[in-house]
Amino acid sequence: MSRRKYIEIADIVEKANQYFQVSPQAEQAGRGMLATFVESILMDANVYNGFRYLGPTEVADGYKCGIIFDETEARNHVYPDQTRVSYSFRR
């Protein structure tokens, strides 16, 4: 009988976070599905610690970012691509 193999949650989250940063703009639907998958793993393991949108300096050149901060008092932030995120979890 073969042994079962496991992958660490940290590895999954790290790979997903990298994908959210560098995947082509045309793969927005894929990023959305991956975000749902990552969230479900983190929730099921009871280690979900939230997410944040990636800023303009955190995505590959030429790609839309997840958030553009409005530093004025109005705080009208813009969200060009809500699939550009980064997840965190409790270890």
Residue 17: is its pLDDT beyond 90?
yes
Residue 84: is its pLDDT beyond 80?
yes
| 6 band by pLDDT with thresholds 50, 70 and 90 | confident
Task: Give percent of the chain with pLDDT exceeding 90.
Answer: 89
Task: Give φ, ψ of 52 to 5 degrees.
Answer: -140, 155
Residue 11: is its pLDDT beyond 90?
yes
What does each C-alpha distance from 30 to 23, 71, 83 come to in angstroms? 9, 31, 9
* Domains of the chain, residue spans: 9-89
How many Cα neighbours within 13 Å face the side chain of 51? Answer: 22
